[in-house]
Structure 1
Amino acid sequence: MSSASDSPMTTPNFDSTIFNNSDTRSESRLETRSRSNEVVPKLEETELQLADVKEESFGDDPPISPTEPVRIRRARGRPRIHPPRSPTTLAKQAKARSKTGCTTCRKRKKKCDETKPFCMSCQKNNIHCEGYKPVELWKSGKEKAADARKQSVEVKFELPPLMEGVESDLDRDLLQHFVSRASAVLSLHGDQSTNPFTRILLPMALQHEGLMHSVLCLSASHMYSVNPSEEYEDRQNFHRSKALKLLKHDLERQKAGEGGVMIYEDSNVAQILVHLLHSICDGNTSGEYRMHMVAAKQIAMNQKSLNPEFQTLFDEFFYYHWIASQITSLDGAEVPMMENFSLPFEINPETAALIGISDGLFGFISKISNLRRRLRTRIDEKIAPTMDYEALLAAHAIDSGLRTWVCPQSPGTPRYTISMLYRQATWVYLYRTTKDSHPHPFIKSAVDDGIRYINELPSEGWIQSNVLLPLFLIGCAAFEEEQRVEINRAFNGLIACTGLGNIGFAKEVVDDIWKLMDADDAESWDWEKIINAKGWDFLAT
């Protein structure tokens, strides 16, 4: 019995019909594909057939030369794409005009070689080249709008000055420096409420532009001595010029009083005092302070202020600097003194701003200066003996007065210590005037005591402001090397504390005196001549 798998497979008739039909369609597609693969050239409408070309009748015209091309009239239709130009044609094409040339060449419509900063074409033709315009970067509309908004936000209007003369931020800093620092190193009063500069002069400056410029000039000078800067120097010169110009204008408007003597307003008198102090801060050695001193002396002799506080301030500062100027200058004049060595005015020791005036010691210093001028004249004229009878009596009277002098300050206070320092320096000044320039136990003991007073003083600026004068006098008598070490230390500390410009010149004079002392030179006592030989004239205050 045979299985189904062994029996032959029979295919129905409908299957053979389907295959026959598919074969027929396949052959049809192959035939179509073969026809589509044949390349058939496409004739453009502008192409001409040879049959379309008709012979033109030339008539009687001569035949065309065989070398000339036959001109064929082009049929109408879609135009051909223009053929590219030859390199020769491109070379002849006009180039675009450059917009980066210099302004002069663009105006002259000439070619510019664009040499920076000035083109060579203009230089060769001897023409002034105006240079090149700045390159303007393209910005979108949003960027331009943002710039416009930024500019509108940044626009601000400067506020007018509140005080005449205080015109900038730097001026406001200078005014603050005067209140907090400069005024403190020019007076014994560290407290602003008791300092005469801030309590008396500053309110006057707020009402007077010229005085305000003088105050700012003084402050800028002190700032420059502490921290040298071109900015401070320029501002100092500016305020000084304005102050002197306004002072001159005020004096031209004022009328002379009785006897033809000029009467000054308090604000102008204050300007004279401030400019006197400016020559100290500035470290001027040309004697600039003298013209202010002469004016102040005329005022002191001929008028009194209606403001008693200001009059006291003026008297104290004028007489202090007038007497102190005699210590470092040959051109001194005697100050009118009473028989008890007192100054021709009275002052309260508690409110005094400068030691030496309030306690009466400057009366002794003035007498010693007068004695020195007398002895110098006798030496120059070779009159013997140098210490005559009158000179001995004057020296004895000064020595006796110093021994009976009583300090008006309370013991244990910085004011008491500096007053005793002035007393010690005054005696040293007398000794160096009347004795030969040789080491001696007496002068060594006096200098040692003076150094002890200096070392006891606090380092605050308000007390150190009065140390230079006694330090100078004691330094000119320091014969011993260990004394000079202490003197040098005191000078360095004084410069760091106060920043006054005249301290360095005083120290240089002391150094010269030490060289003469070491050489056993008899002229080492006369430091006024040494200063004059240098061409200097300054205040050691």
Structure 2
Amino acid sequence: MSTPSRVCARCSRIKQRCDGKFPCERCKRLGHVCKPASSGRDTTTRRPRASRSRGGCLSCKARKKKCDECRPTCSDCRRLNIRCQWRESTPNVELNSPAIVTSCSPTSDATEPADTDPTNDPDDGPSMLSPISPCEAEEFIATLFPHPFPRQNSVALPLDLSPVSVNPHLRTEEDRSLFNHYIRVVSRALCRSHDSDRNPFLVTLLPLAAVSDTVTSVILSLSGCHWKRVHPAIWGSALNRQGKALTQVNQLLGCSDRQSIFEACATVLLLCLTELIDGTSRVWKWHLKAASVILKSHPFQSLVSSDEWAFCVSLFRYLDSMSTISRCKAPLLQNSDSMTELTSSFRRSSLPELDNSKSTDAIYGISPALFDLLGMVNLLANHRSRRVDELSEIGFRAAAAHIENRINEWRADYDSGISFVDPASDTDRATTAFEWAIRLRLHQIVEGYDLIHELVERSVVTILDSVQQIPYASRVEGCLLFPLVIAGSSSISVERRMIVKERLMVMENTLGFTHIHHARQLLETVWKGGDNAPNANWASVRYSRFPGVVFV
């Protein structure tokens, strides 16, 4: 019987044949230290055990995620809005620590058994949502608004409850979760102002929601529509609230007092906004038309010059101007859609003019005059099919030239310092991108969809350069959807298309609205069809496959 040859420790560890010499040929060739293999277990080759955090919350441990151990709610649980639970006996924690203080809600986390923890679900979404407790709501809103709410020239609402108190119309845990999501996420995504005190979606709507079940219902519906991409199960509760708001608004329209008419107008506008950000519905048209009737009604005129009036009119004009892209109709507050309106002052004479109010600044984000100009361009688009002879063609081009002169005049006033905007600010860059998107759309309406035209090239370059200088999650990022779609539909090169697509994908996460996803799908459809037809009419693709997309 032959004796087994000796094997060095390295050849034994890598399971390779060894010649039995010391040093062996492999170790000599590779320059390793050759040692004989020990007869027992080689403890030197054991991999070091990874150290794990032992102070993380139970939620992160159940999902096998790293916890930052921020108490009482870690950042991961706060981001997912799930219940953050901790071990009852944690070493080196004082008795007065917030981690072991009983929650302000009736059901404390410490009293729940461990086997009912809803955070055992995977990362794709929790099965149950945690509500916002009264003390958490007061603490959050108090940090958001360090001083009292500005209520100059506003309707005297009989508020027995302040906005930092618990809303009495939140009846279930899902209601509280939706309301919490609206305060923390949705209202900030809708606001274009960096100053939280100028956010009308909080300053104006939260006090009204405290005394109005209708406004509370439509707020929860708006929050659920924004949240359903991440938590699809929550949409059922939000949809029930939306139906309730529709029923209640009919009752409010039968009243003529100031508070009821304001509640009705705000509810209809928020219903319209909910349908618009959903991106798959056409019902928003009926809500917008209903809001226009309310704004022109006699009871609503009693709100003129109040903060509530400014909020409703600003939001309506913003939605009305942007929706003209889909309808190619005159704005609803316009007297008519005749060609003479294009050469007039284009002012909505049925309502007093808006000043530079807080609602205007927070809703538009950029100069409101640009939205008037966009309405003029889209009104011109409605007359394209009416060019039946040489005379109508001359009139059409004369109206287009007048609109172009109006844009040039606005730019001259803007550059002269009337707007008082820092030239290097995000607002100025978003303004430039929006202006050139209007110029490009006007060119497309008059001259057609020639992608190699000199003005098209200049417009696309200006828009993309301005957009790329605006950081992600900027407050004015919501103003970039219309310029990005206009520039993307006119881009030929793959590099420019990728710039547009990448920014839209970022906006889907930073803003979270579903209609941004549908706008990106629209562009990808246009690009796919444009490879075979370079001069393809992107508008025809848009109206046939994505009729409900509005670039709000």
Q: TM-score, normalised by structure 1?
A: 0.63
Superposition pairs for residues 23-422 of structure 1, below 5 Å?
162-225=166-229, 227-230=230-233, 232-251=234-253, 253-254=254-255, 265-283=261-279, 285-302=280-297, 303-306=300-303, 308-329=306-327, 335-336=334-335, 339-341=344-346, 345-348=353-356, 352-355=361-364, 358-378=367-387, 383-384=388-389, 388-405=393-410, 406-407=413-414, 408=419, 409-422=421-434
CA distance in 2, matches of 1:512, 1:229: 26
In structure 2, give the amino acid aligned to 1:485. M
Q: What's the Cα RMSD here?
A: 3.1
Same amino acid, percent of matched pairs: 20
Check whether the contact 2:326–2:547 (CA below 8 A) recurs between aligned residues: no
In structure 1, give the amino acid aligned to 2:267. Q
Which of structures 1 and 2 has the bigger CA Rg? 1
In structure 2, give the amino acid aligned to 1:433. I
State the match for 2:50 in structure 1: none
CA distance in 1, matches of 2:391, 2:537: 16
Distance 1:386 1:465, change over 3 A: farther
Distance 1:199 1:385, change over 3 A: same
Superposition deviation, residue 387 in structure 1? 7.4
Q: String of CA shifts for 1:239-270, please: whole Å, max 9, x gaps.
A: 2122222223333x426x9xxxx996111111
Distance 1:357 1:488, change over 3 A: closer
State the match for 1:533 in structure 2: 544
In structure 2, give the amino acid aligned to 1:235. S
In structure 2, give the amino acid aligned to 1:376. S
Which runs of 5 or more structure 1 residues have no equivalent in the other structure? 1-152
Aligned to 2:197, the other structure's residue is in SS state: coil
Check whether the contact 1:367–1:398 (CA below 8 A) recurs between aligned residues: yes
Aligned to 1:388, the other structure's residue is in SS state: helix
In structure 2, give the amino acid aligned to 1:414. D
Check whether the contact 2:529–2:536 (CA below 8 A) recurs between aligned residues: yes
Q: String of CA shifts for 1:198-243, please: whole Å, max 9, x gaps.
A: 0111111111111111111111221223x1331x112212221222
Superposition deviation, residue 365 in structure 1? 0.9
Superposition deviation, residue 516 in structure 1? 4.5
Q: String of CA shifts for 1:51-79, please: whole Å, max 9, x gaps.
A: xxxxxxxxxxxxxxxxxxxxxxxxxxxxx
Q: TM-score, normalised by structure 2?
A: 0.62
* Number of matched pairs: 372
In structure 2, give the amino acid aligned to 1:502. H
Superposition deviation, residue 170 in structure 1? 3.0
State the match for 1:434 in structure 2: 446
State the match for 2:21 in structure 1: none
The answer to whether 1:510 aligns with 2:508 is no
Distance 1:460 1:220, change over 3 A: same
Check whether the contact 1:461–1:498 (CA below 8 A) recurs between aligned residues: no
Distance 1:434 1:514, change over 3 A: farther
Check whether the contact 2:434–2:483 (CA below 8 A) recurs between aligned residues: yes
Superposition deviation, residue 192 in structure 1? 2.8
Superposition deviation, residue 455 in structure 1? 0.9
CA distance in 1, matches of 2:322, 2:453: 27
State the match for 1:467 in structure 2: 480
CA distance in 2, matches of 1:288, 1:346: 27
In structure 2, give the amino acid aligned to 1:245. T
**Structure with more relative contact order (C-alpha pairs < 8 Å, separation 6 or more):** 1
Distance 1:197 1:287, change over 3 A: same
Distance 1:219 1:297, change over 3 A: same
